[in-house]
Amino acid sequence: MKKDQVPGTDFIIYQDEDEFKYTTDSLILSSFVKKGKRALDLGCGNGILSLRIADRFEEIHSVDINKIVLENFRESLSVNRLEDKIKIIEKDIFALKEVYETNYFDSIVFNPPYYDYENIKFETIPAKHFFDIEKSLYIVNYLLKNSGNLHIIYPTYRLAELIYKINLASLRVKHIINIHGNLNKIPKNSIVIARKQGNFGNDFRDFYIRQGEDYSKKMKRVYRNEVILWFIFVQLP
């Protein structure tokens, strides 16, 4: 188990070299989550998203079924004295209706595995339940409050599929942020912010990790754990 600093915070995170380790995707996703009362980190893994948004919410619930990463996460919560704010739920996502009433969370953050059913080759069993993204989105709809937001990151080449399934789950896409490695690179991943009981209509933006050899200004803001709200001036109903 390795101890690292959570970028932009005073928190420590414990990670296992042989299990899920956080990536830049999680850092960028967390910077598009604004303040609220109660958040859900769906498939929390080692807890990087929960730790990054800890100062923005009164209460965070972090759900996973991988015992090894949750053991590391509990260690992180203990050393950071966050046990009262962040609650770990060791539960399958599809069993969450047994735990929560509907309309419970202001925000849900979700960084799911990206594999296709047909091409899955698994060594780590506990993440299998996340690959039914459509079924997951119906659970998201159940758990979100009216006007609550889902923040999800997904491969750009599967963006149309994701938007279609978000609409099937009666959520409405409000913002799409395409993430480019550099100015001349096509996006590999996209962040989608969808709202429960929102209207149709969305805002497209591009996010660049680097501009030439240096990190972009917005990526530097990500590393400082600042909230990025381009669309504050484009408030869609």
Supply the pTM of this predicted model.
Answer: 0.89
C-alpha to C-alpha distances, 236 to 109, 175, 187, nearest whole angstrom: 20, 9, 24
Q: Which residues of the chain have pLDDT under 70?
A: 19, 114-131, 230-237
pLDDT confidence of residue 19: 65
pLDDT confidence of residue 231: 57
CB neighbour list of residue 4: distance below 8 Å, 6 or more residues apart: 12, 13, 14, 15
Domains of the chain, first to last: 2-233 (3.40.50.150)
pLDDT confidence of residue 230: 64
Three-state SS string across 186-200, please? CCCEEEEEEEECCCC
Helical axes 133-143 vs 159-168, angle rounded to 10°: 50
Q: Provide the token pair at 2.
A: 């390795």
pLDDT confidence of residue 114: 64
How many angstroms from the chain centroid is the CA of residue 135? 17
